Amino acid sequence: MFLFKLMSFLLGYVTILVTGDAPEKFINMAASRGISLWDVARSGEGGIRLKVRLSAVKPLRHMARRTRCRFRICRREGLPFYFARLRRRKALALGAVFCVGVLYLLTSFVWFIEIRGNEQLSSAEMLEAAAEAGLTRGVPKWQVETGAVEAKIMERLPLVAWTGVYLKGTRVVIEVAERTLPVEEDQQPAHIVAGKAGLIKEVLIVSGHPVVKEGDTVVPGQVLISGVIPAVEEPEPGEEPEPGQKSGEVRPAAYVHARGIVRARVWYEGYGEVPIIEEGRRPTGSTKTRTSIKFEGKEIILSGSQNIPFEHYEADTLVKSLPSWRNLIIPVELITIKYHELSDYKIERSPKEARRLAEERALQEALASLSPNTRVEKQWVEEVQTGRAENLVRVKAIIEAVEDIGADKQFKP
């Protein structure tokens, strides 16, 4: 059936309306002569509507005379009729051919270059290396040699262990795998200082000299583990101290990069407030989009309404420009504006519900400020009283946690 309809489209077919004394006899005679008829149905005009190939129209005229019937063509379909229309509209045909040619020409150039897998190398370095091999935006695709681009990237960037260049339409994808370099330990003399205030709970030393102990309170910037390892030089019995040296004087023996872990109790605070009666505007979920094209200061709306469809709204604007081609900059912008409808609302809460929401917000704020690998010991909330009646419920959340507060600070001996 599909092949039959395809051949009918290629050869052309018509829809005819048969009327007269005996349209059924007309159809039976056509079928007996081997003429293919399909979509045969009664018409409201008192006749029979059917479809037949273009080559069978002439034989049907003789059958119509013999059966005292008439038929008229209602619709013409198929490739021959399309070609006939195009011959009458040469400008339209030439315009269509021109548009197809321009689109084909534009798809023969590289307009986008995508880089994947680079973490240590910047995209600018990758694009610069690719440009030396002839890969730039606006270059014809037939001039891009993927093998040469891969070789140039490997040559210019020793940090690249593997690279692959792929052409996908008007886009070129450059995938790279970078080498993993061994991390050298920093040997520059340094102290470990407190990154934040807290109460020392534990001190573990790998190298360096401890300056604080468990139970001490420290402030930000205070030295916890010193990178100066002291040595006590005591004179031998019966020997006098060296000139300028006091008995038991501490002198530096070595300078090291202090390493260790200093855990301390740290307190975080968060604040939350919720109105008992809340009024404002919020999105309803209804949106409208307007798309326009801007060329040399003139804006033409392609889709969407010219007037803003909402009384209250928020707008998100996205502007896209054509990529520059060598030194040619095309002043055309595609502007998409998405309007979000806003509506007024009013929420009345009980003081208990408002406090619960304020506690959640305060705890979320306090938890968001926690450092990684922090262990929470306990948490509690307190209502903030201002001493006057107001529409707000204010809550402060406090979290007690244990974490490593040490941070490196280099120094010059």
Structure-token match 């994947």, residue found: 116
Neighbours of 28 (CB within 10 A): 13
DSSP structure string for 269-309: EEEEEEESEEEEEEEEEEEEEEEEEEETTEEEEEES-SS-S
> Token digits for 11?
């050869």
Which pLDDT does position 251 carry in this prediction? 56
Output the CATH code of domain 2-83: 3.30.70.260
Which pLDDT does position 371 carry in this prediction? 84
Which pLDDT does position 101 carry in this prediction? 85
Q: Are 196 and 269 a contacting pair, CB within 8 Å?
A: no
Which pLDDT does position 5 carry in this prediction? 79
Beta 171-178 vs 112-116: how paired, if at all?
parallel
> Token digits for 247?
């008995």
> Which of 283, 284, 260 has the alpha carbon at shortest distance from 211?
260
| Distance in Å from the first CA to the final CA of the chain | 93
Query: In 3-state terms, the chain is what percent helix, strand and coil (to 5)?
Result: 25, 45, 30
**Angle ∠(411,412,413) on CA atoms, nearest 5:** 115
pLDDT digits (tens, 9 = 90+) for 242-269: 555 555 554 557 888 899 999 999 999 9
Q: CB-hemisphere CA count at 13 Å for 187?
A: 2
pLDDT digits (tens, 9 = 90+) for 177-214: 888 766 666 678 899 999 999 999 999 999 889 999 99
Which pLDDT does position 120 carry in this prediction? 85
Which pLDDT does position 80 carry in this prediction? 82
Which pLDDT does position 252 carry in this prediction? 55
Give the domain ranges of the chain. 2-83, 112-178, 190-260, 268-276+349-405, 280-344
Sort 126 into a burial class: Cβ within 10 Å, 0-12 / 13-18 / 19+.
buried
> Which of 333, 343, 337, 283 has the alpha carbon at shortest distance from 305?
337
Low-confidence stretches of the chain (pLDDT beneath 50): 250
Q: Are 14 and 37 a contacting pair, CB within 8 Å?
A: no
What whole-number distance in Å separates Cα of residue 267 and Cα of residue 370? 10
Which pLDDT does position 45 carry in this prediction? 67
Q: Check: pTM over 0.75? Answer yes or no.
A: no
Structural Rg of the chain based on CA atoms: 42
Angle between helices 123-132 and 146-156 (to 10 degrees): 120
Asked if the 112-178 domain carries CATH number 3.10.450.50, the reply is no
What whole-number distance in Å separates Cα of residue 211 and Cα of residue 218? 11
Q: Are 283 and 344 a contacting pair, CB within 8 Å?
A: no
Beta 228-232 vs 250-255: how paired, if at all?
antiparallel
pLDDT digits (tens, 9 = 90+) for 50-60: 888 888 888 88
- What is the phi/psi pair of residue 128, to 5°? -65, -40
Structure-token match 């139970």, residue found: 215
Q: Are 18 and 69 a contacting pair, CB within 8 Å?
A: yes
Same fold for the pair 2-83 and 112-178: no
The β-bridge partners of 336 are: 291, 318
Q: How far is CA 65 from the centre of its chain?
A: 71
Which pLDDT does position 195 carry in this prediction? 92
User: What count of residues does the chain have?
Assistant: 413
Helices in 188-289 by DSSP H: which ranges?
Answer: none
> Token digits for 38?
């399909």
